Structure 1
């Protein structure tokens, strides 16, 4: 618990205290369980623990989700809100290895709060317990859906607040589209709770066994979705690594351009789902250099017109390389047009002003800034102040002034961590370096006419 910031510790203590108070109040004062309900509660608690002990890991650092809430929602119907709170509280006993005590306490407390709140809504909407027959069971559909509609959002909110206070989640980086899909899926899986309750009316505790298979299928579906997201990131990382083998001095350039592009996108108020796409575009903006002969990138002095054409075609080659990667979506435009200029003198299409896609205008600024503030084989890195001055100088001609201003504001607020000095290659190390960075606005390409 030492690693938790103080706001997170206070929040944890408050959630645990409220949950404990509600459980005691419910079981002792308001709605004590009958003798026949304790065996039901025990079976649901065991089902809850089984699911809670094998969660699906999320992309958020050290966070996971399970489908155990289905058992808690079944408890709402079968043993009431206080019983559901007690079922949820058993999360502290999870056998998941390596789970710290503060996470166990929070998981148990937040599930208890959700269960208690769902039970209150269930009864307020006319729900009843126990389930005794099919005729009465159909009357539970409305109250159950109301309980689920409270349980799931409350679970999300409590979870998100803790992650935010612990510094593991930035709300501006949450993709709203993906979150909405995840949320709707979560509500769908909540119906397993109603299935358990419905089966209980006829087969009693065997219903818990019967529902285990669909519950674990649901867990597998969660895992597949998240594995897909991780495979996307792995694909991007592999392509970036391939690009950076073209020049020893550009290692980390793709990641930094992605970070700077995201800073600009955040500053101009871009939606989170588009911010994920701009991050991908920043990572892959130079992937087309894989199609440019290394001897052209390494050439000293002036380029021939044919060599210049090879350089200027790299955005189009990049588009060809990644065209089949469907999840990149709007990132394609950033990869294709990030070398266009506001005055129309860029490449490959010679677009100007508003004709240039927004992603490309963002990446152009991020790309040039990182190029200037990084060591290259032919020069040392410029200071942040020098790079900002150059961006201001070129605003309106090479760069979009709106994007330049947004980036400078973001720099003033968040700062920037330059990559630092690049160690010279060892004497026995074979590396590839280029003698001119074509992304650096302070070193324009020189061409010798062949006419």
Structure 2
């Protein structure tokens, strides 16, 4: 299978994976195995679906490994949506997130962490169904999935650092759950920010920017330390801090930022670059990877970035590319040791399918 931009879909194309773009719990827009009609192609584009997994000769034999099963992802998105709706109501009366809400989301985090920990050693495909209308809950679940992937690999290889600076390899499942909960609600403080400020297409003025800079603190205040681990709260409060001290709200630097928040910062920025928003289009994977790589040692912890680079490829399996000569190509496989030299497949005008190792180290390609 391969991932094709909705703008390039043609009648007769067979959908490989169901397409969802409604609120959690709604029926799929298109079922797997559906042969698209002209009206379906137009509908997918107008409904904000960015790309669709399809089955055809060019994508034959390609099976990208999803980091999270559809059932787990759907359940997580339902819980996040319901909890944020309740949190918005309680915020109006000055209440914090309730213990039962925390417990439900902690269960979701544990489910995602368990699934991530059981994955085989591989390079993963992250969910590609990104629409501006449902950004909040989709972003939370995607950031949680990626953050837990990074943590699982990083703590397996390097251990985690305790408050005395010691490297430890115990209690990883518990830390994964705390990190997962913090990631699920990392942007809960944005509930206190007016929607017209969050979605403003132009430059923020000084007052609006100050509101945005407060959302980590707002989020931390919505969590009760008697029901929520301080580790999880640190993710909410510090995920916008930067390795060089240029972040907010405290301007912390280096290891003064909690390790969980440093992981969250990488996952959050990558997904934000990759996501469709009302004020900016989604960028292809190689742009998201380059943003993280370029921030190593300034915005982000270099050790966390090194783990990220082992997991997230600039040109993932199944993704469609337009080569320098204008031909369409699909990534067949990629070696994490040579991420900018994936094996790609093209089809000539006479139908002949060819494979070769591409070199994208110098010339970026359009995804």
Q: TM-score, normalised by structure 2?
A: 0.46
Higher strand share: 2
More helix by share: 1
Higher CA-based Rg = 1
TM-score when normalising by structure 1:
0.37
Q: Which has the higher contact order (CA 8 A, sep 6+)?
A: 2
